Amino acid sequence: MIRYDTIGNNFAKKIDFGTIVWAGGLLACISVLVIPETKEIFLKFSESRPYISGFVKFMILATMGDLAGERILKGEWALSPATFVKAIVWGLLGMAIVLVFSIFNNGVILTQQAGKLPGEGMAVMAAFFTSLIMNVTFAPAMFLFHKYSDAIIDLAYEQGIGAISFISASERIDFKGMVEFSILKVVPFFWIPCHTAVFLLPGQYRVIASAFLSIALGLFIALNKKKEA
């Protein structure tokens, strides 16, 4: 017999106030790109202030991905001072992504024009090579930096700044999982195809698209960890 009161309680646990706020924030971010007036402001700001806009995009959207992932793993929303520091780190990574997107995409196009890569003049080929080269070179370094930054922030928050050391931070990192899952699975099966699609978009939409993908990745990683647990 179906216990509808149990179903209702389980639903209420999943759709709590934090979930509503998170979904509302995501809807607000999407609305900025949909409403013509805010879309125009967004595009002008992204063009005139690329690094600042990259900081804001990743600080907000990637942090939302982290929060949703924690919600899936722990069953509750968790905000702490560490969350806000990690959001700043995401913003800095967003600025770096603005830079590397331009470097890798323009570098691939110039290399194609020099005849050292095939597919000159083909948008799909340029997008694919940009995504491929970027994700097998820059992405692992970014993963490692992000793992260490998270470990250092967590150590400082949990035990104090005096507890921070290279060894203590390293002990908190699952290097085996990072290589086996993040590099050998996520990079080829998620980031390379997704970034290929991203580089087919107009330039002003690429960073925001990548930031939205970080939400999907956060959910995907959390679901994988929960499945393994």
Q: Would you list the domain boundaries of the chain?
A: 49-228
For residue 216, how many other CB atoms are within 10 A of its CB? 13
Q: What is the pLDDT of residues 74-95, one digit of tens each?
A: 888 888 889 999 999 999 999 9
Query: Rounded mean pLDDT of 20-41?
Result: 94
Higher pLDDT residue, 180 or 9? Answer: 180
119, 125 contact by CB (below 8 A): yes
pLDDT recorded at residue 13: 55
Which amino acid is it at 108?
V
Question: Model-level pTM?
Answer: 0.88
Percent of the chain's residues with pLDDT above 70: 93
Q: Which residues contact 158 (CB under 8 A, 6 or more apart)?
A: none
Q: Which residues contact 130 (CB under 8 A, 6 or more apart)?
A: 104, 105, 108, 195, 196, 199
Q: What is the pLDDT of residues 171-213, one digit of tens each?
A: 999 999 899 988 999 999 999 999 999 999 999 999 999 999 9
Q: Report residue 109 as tokens.
A: 């196009």
